[in-house]
Structure 1
Amino acid sequence: MSSIKLKFDEKNQDVLIWNGQVVMSRTEEAYFQALFQRLAYLKPDTVLEVGYGLGISAVLIQEHMKPTRHDIFEIEKAIYQDLVRFAEAYPSVHPYCGDWKQSAIDLRYDFIFFDPFDYIPSGQGAEKDRADTAGRMKRLLNPDGVLCHPHFGDGDIPDLPSFTTIVVERLKVSPIRMADETSCDDVAIVFHQPVNERPSSGS
């Protein structure tokens, strides 16, 4: 399971900056608060979270969803240490260090929250990358499970192969500090559900 160790330009409880890019900042908190409040009704028993960052989403998943098992993958070693400390306070949290794509995950989840930072681009096109990720996610979800990710901006939300897309709400929040240091106050609460092909009945 490959992990990486990076030298951050800035790393504290409010911001992560690496190579001149904002990996995550506390300005995302209001959006994530709205997102997990709106999706709390899903009440997932098992949750997979990809990308720990500042731990904002992990705290809110615990607070609003209260899963009995909450697996979190973090690829960067220093951030993983933050995750280990977080897990000590939450018995349902299981921390994993490394690339989720290279890990032998043998569970199926009710809810996946996918928010990794792309430290090492795959080298393949965005379309192929999205299709590859969607295929892996579908294999990790229960048939009626939900895949969720942040969506910044007021543009179209890309569909994922073999998933339906549900836009729960579009809203404005206090300005979020983006990777390139622009700001964004348009966001969407969105999730995807796997399309389960059922054999057609004979006529």
Structure 2
Amino acid sequence: MTSIKLEFDEKNADILIWNGKVVMSRTEEPYFKAIFSRLKYLKPNSVLEIGFGLGISAGLIQKYMAPRLHDIYEIERSIYIDLERFVGEHPSVRPHLGDWKRCSITQQYDFIFFDPFHYSVEGELDGDLSHEEWSTVRAENAERMKALLSERGVLCHPHFGDGEVPDLPGFTTTIVERLKVSPIRMADETYCEDAAVIFHQPITD
């Protein structure tokens, strides 16, 4: 189970910046609110969330979906401490420290929210990969997550921009809504005002 301890350029309740890149900022909150308010009808009993960050999505999942079980995996140790504080106020949440890909996860979930930041630390994690390498990583992640979903489970992740929503191997893709959002501060310090609420469901044989 691999975890990492990083020195952030800036870390507070509104922004995480590491190595000159925005990991997450509070500017994402209105968009995330749109995601979970529109998908609350799914009423998942169990949720897996990959990446805690500022806890924005975790709080909104609790508010709109109120799952009986909410597992959250976080790889960075100081952010994990923030997650432990969050757990104190949300008893359905179980915190997990480590790289979800290297952890033994036996639970199946009705809903997965996938929003990790791809740190690159001495070759340990995904960093600046080529398009082909990213495609391979994406396919491998999809295969892992498909195995973690219940029979009618749903996989969701953010989609920034107004471009095409890529298909995910082994899944169908549903675009619930495209929307204009207040400017979101991106990793490269550009701002995005277009986003989409999307989800994927496993293709069954």
TM norm structure 2: 0.95
For this pair of structures, how many residues does the alignment match?
A: 197
Question: Residue 190 of structure 1 aligns with which residue?
Answer: 198
Separation in 2 of the partners of 1:15 and 1:168?
28
Provide, for residues 39-70 of structure 1, a one-character-per-residue CA deviation record: whole Å limited to 9, x for no partner. 00000000000000000000000000000000
Write the letter of the residue equivalent to 1:99: D
Displacement of 1:126 in angstroms is 1.1
State the shift of 1:109 in Å.
Answer: 0.2
User: What is the CA deviation profile of residues 157-189 of structure 1, one whole-angstrom value per residue up to 9, with x for unaligned ones?
Assistant: 110111000000000010000000000010000
Please name the residue that 1:200 is paired with: none
Q: Give the superposition deviation at 1:121.
A: 1.2
The residue that corresponds to 1:71 in the other structure is 71
Aligned structure 1 segments of 4 or more residues deviating by more than 2 angstroms: none
How much has 1:143 moved relative to structure 2? 1.6
Q: Deviations over 1:98-154 (max 9, x none)?
A: 000001101000000000000031657011111000000000001210000000000
Match of 2:97 in 1: 97
Instruction: State the SS of the aligned residue for 2:67.
Output: coil
Opposite residue 153 of structure 1, the aligned amino acid is: G
Q: Among residues 133, 143, 150, which one is paired with 2:151 in the alignment?
A: 143
- Structure 1 residue 121 and structure 2 residue 126: aligned? yes
Structure 2, unmatched stretches of 5+, are: 120-124
Are 1:168 and 2:180 an aligned pair? no
Q: Give 3-state SS (helix, strand or coil) of 2:153's partner.
A: strand
- Uncovered stretches (5+) of structure 1, i.e. residues with no partner: 198-203
**Larger radius of gyration, structure 1 or 2?**
1
| Bigger shift: residues 104-113 or 119-128 | 119-128
Match of residue 12 from structure 2? 12
